[in-house]
Amino acid sequence: MLWIKAFHIVFVTSWFAGLFYLPRIFVNLAMVSPDSHAERERLLMMARKLYRFSTLLMIPAIGLGLWLWLSNRAAYAAGWFYTKLMLVALAIGYHYACRSLLRRFEQFDNRRSERWFRVFNEVTVLLFTAIVVLVVVKPF
C-alpha cells in the first residue's frame, strides 16, 4: 500500500506542476501582440502539449487515489477527507477550465486580460496547499 501512496503523491504533484505552469503560458499568450504569429503559435503548441501531458498525469493520480480510498475506507471517514474530495473535484474542474481557455486562444476568442490569468494562476497554489494541509494535518 505504501507503493500506491508514493506513486499517488508523485502523480498528484506532477499533475499540479502542469496546472501551475499552464496558466502562466496563458499569461504570455494574453500578452502576445496580434501580429506576432510565430510567438503565438509557439506558445499554443507549448500549451497543447502541457495540457495533454497534465491530463495523462491526472488519470493515474485520480486512479491511485481511488485505489487508496477503496482499500481503506474506514480511515477516510473523517470530515477532512470529504473536504479534500471537494477540493480534488475543484482541481479537476480547474483542469478542464484550462482546456476551455486553451480552445478560446486557439479560436482567437480570448476575452481575458493577462492580469486575470495571473490571478487565475494562483488558484492551483491555493488548491494544492489546502489539499496537502488537509492530508497531513487532518484538522477535523
pLDDT at 50 > cutoff 80? yes
Residue 60 falls in which region: left (phi positive, over 0), alpha (psi -120 to 50) or beta:
alpha
**Contact yes or no for 57/14 (Cβ under 8 A):** yes
In which element (H, E) is residue 7 found? helix 2-31
Q: How many domains are contained in the chain?
A: 1
Check residue 85 and report its DSSP letter.
Answer: H
Quickly count: other Cβ atoms within 10 Å of residue 21's Cβ.
16
Domain that holds residue 6: 2-137
Say what percent of the chain tops pLDDT 70.
Answer: 98
Reported pTM: 0.92
pLDDT tens figures, 106-130: 999 999 999 999 999 999 999 999 9
Can you say whether the dihedral through the CA atoms of 34, 36, 37, 39 is positive or negative? negative
Proportion of the chain in helix, strand, coil states, percent, rounded to 5: 85, 0, 15
- What pLDDT sits at residue 75? 63
In which element (H, E) is residue 77 found? none
Check residue 33 and report its DSSP letter.
Answer: -
